[in-house]
Amino acid sequence: MSAPSYTVWAVPGLPEVREGDDLAKLIAAAEPGLVDGDVVLVTSKIASKAEGRLVEATDREAAIDDETVRVVARRGTLRIVENRQGLVMAAAGVDASNTPAGTVLLLPVDPDASARAVRDGLRDALGVDVGVIVTDTFGRPWRAGLTDVAIGAAGVRVLDDLRGGVDAYGNPLVATVIATADELAAAGDLVKGKAAGLPVAVVRGLAHVTGGDGPDPGARALVREARDDMFRLGTSEAVREAVTQRRTVREFTDDEVDPGAVRRAVAAAVTAPAPHHTTPWRFVLLESAAARVELLDAMRDAWIADLRRDGKSEESIAKRVRRGDVLRRAPYLVVPCMVMDGSHTYGDERRDAAEREMFVVAAGAGVQNFLVALAGERLGSAWVSSTMFCRDVVREVLGLPGSWEPMGAVAVGRAVGEPKARGERDVGGFVVVR
């Protein structure tokens, strides 16, 4: 039995591609010896030129803006973005090299459709069933250098899912999914080169990864879904998104909350600024349902007693109590507390009041850090002030020292559905410049 092998070569003789050219006919004329099972690798640049994606643009940055869906990371003028095709890459794939002055080349609108068109055209021209991959050059996180990857595909098994099988030692494979299309794209790049004027290559000998006229997911299957992407944002962008995406969540799923995620959020909370190098934060984690019910029942009774003393009707009291049920609907509660250990006493009412305000501000900064960190853990939260109105009750039920001042309660859990989009706020309305 011969060892597995394949052959890859660049296709010479292709003319300069222009808008409206039929790529399949050009490739067929330059490489008429294609056979069933070959994989044809087509550089995205010539697909874009044929599809009229060369556009006037005196400002490349503006063109990148137009093609960008979201910024993933930014360093100086370099931007890693998600583009309209769903690809995360530098500069949205906008190319200003080897194009006339004042123009840029955009990626194909639908690279999978581009691959299908070339595959169908080669079948019509040569009567062969080949796979086609549209390639582009990417950098990769944590790795130096560039390589070609598949951004469009047709008639190619882009992913080889080995999960459920076993390795040579009988160990189960539980996470092994091979990016076959990317490996083929990189193989072709070895012979095409970046400056050799050879935009098409052919791989022969791997017919098992091609063929079929059934459902074809294309290279889109290589794009990781947002929910599975652990590295969706760069550092500063992740912080900014956690801050801006934090919402008050009032409806939670029944999913359990990872206590480790809450503790990581507490670790972020206690990095907040505080006066006199103090640590004025304490967080009481109510992880058992019994503890939550005991606290909330005691707080409800205290609240009802207060409302009755205020002369509220029973109907009004019932409505108010129902509005406070957000804490009961959460699978996890946290009671942040302020302690004034290390505070100064001046013997002056004005200065002592200011001292307390500094600690209250620091406590609030710690809670904000906590809420933002929870958002970074994909946990929803609602900071409710109720414990501040019955601090003695809270301290008694939870067995807290008298010096601990409960600063509300935070409901924590997975949000039911996506939060509503927050309306745009004009920063100018919150800024005074002197």
Q: State which residues form the domain around 171.
A: 7-53+107-228
Residue in this structure with the two tokens 């991959």, named with its chain if needed: 133
- Of the residues 179, 197, 228, the one at which a domain ends: 228
- Of the residues 167, 193, 228, the one at which a domain ends: 228
- CA-nearest of 5, 211, 30 to 128 is 211
Helix 391-398 × helix 289-309 angle, to 10°: 150
pLDDT of 233 reads 67
Q: What confidence category does residue 211 fall into, taking pLDDT thresholds of 50, 70 and 90? A: confident
pLDDT of 295 reads 95
pLDDT of 206 reads 94
> Alpha helix locations (H) across 127-258?
180-192, 235-245
* 3-class SS of residue 340: coil
Using the predicted structure, report yes or no on whether residue 265 has a pLDDT greater than 90.
yes
Q: Are residues 384 and 424 located together in one domain of the fold?
A: yes
- Of the residues 228, 257, 288, the one at which a domain ends: 228
Using the predicted structure, report yes or no on whether residue 6 has a pLDDT greater than 90.
yes
- CA distances to 42, 81, 153, 187, 188 from 223, in Å: 19, 14, 13, 20, 21
CA dihedral 378, 271, 338, 307 (to 10 degrees): -30
> Alpha helix locations (H) across 129-230?
180-192
Using the predicted structure, report yes or no on whether residue 297 has a pLDDT greater than 80.
yes
Strand extents, DSSP E, 76-205:
78-83, 88-90, 103-105, 131-140, 143-154, 160-161, 177-178, 200-204
Instruction: Please report, for the domain that includes residue 145, its CATH number.
Output: 3.30.1330.100
pLDDT of 197 reads 80
Please state, in angstroms and rounded to a whole number, the distance separating the CA atoms of residues 334 and 291: 11
Task: Give the chain's domain count.
Answer: 2
Using the predicted structure, report yes or no on whether residue 360 has a pLDDT greater than 90.
yes
pLDDT of 250 reads 87
Please state, in angstroms and rounded to a whole number, the distance separating the CA atoms of residues 329 and 250: 8
Instruction: Please report, for the domain that includes residue 368, its CATH number.
Output: 3.40.109.10
Bridge partners for 252 per DSSP? 415
- DSSP 8-state assignment for residue 247: -
Please state, in angstroms and rounded to a whole number, the distance separating the CA atoms of residues 410 and 292: 12
In sequence order, which residues have a C-beta less than 8 Å from that of residue 311 and are 6 or more positions away?
none
Using the predicted structure, report yes or no on whether residue 194 has a pLDDT greater than 90.
no
Q: Are residues 32 and 160 located together in one domain of the fold?
A: yes
Q: Which residue has the higher pLDDT, 338 or 385?
A: 338
Q: What is the pLDDT of residues 111-139, one digit of tens each?
A: 999 999 999 999 999 999 999 999 999 98
Q: Are residues 132 and 274 located together in one domain of the fold?
A: no
* Helices H / strands E in the chain, number of each: 12, 17
Percent of the chain with pLDDT over 90: 61
Full-model pTM: 0.65
Q: What confidence category does residue 84 fall into, taking pLDDT thresholds of 50, 70 and 90? A: very high
Using the predicted structure, report yes or no on whether residue 359 has a pLDDT greater than 70.
yes
Q: Are residues 255 and 335 located together in one domain of the fold?
A: yes
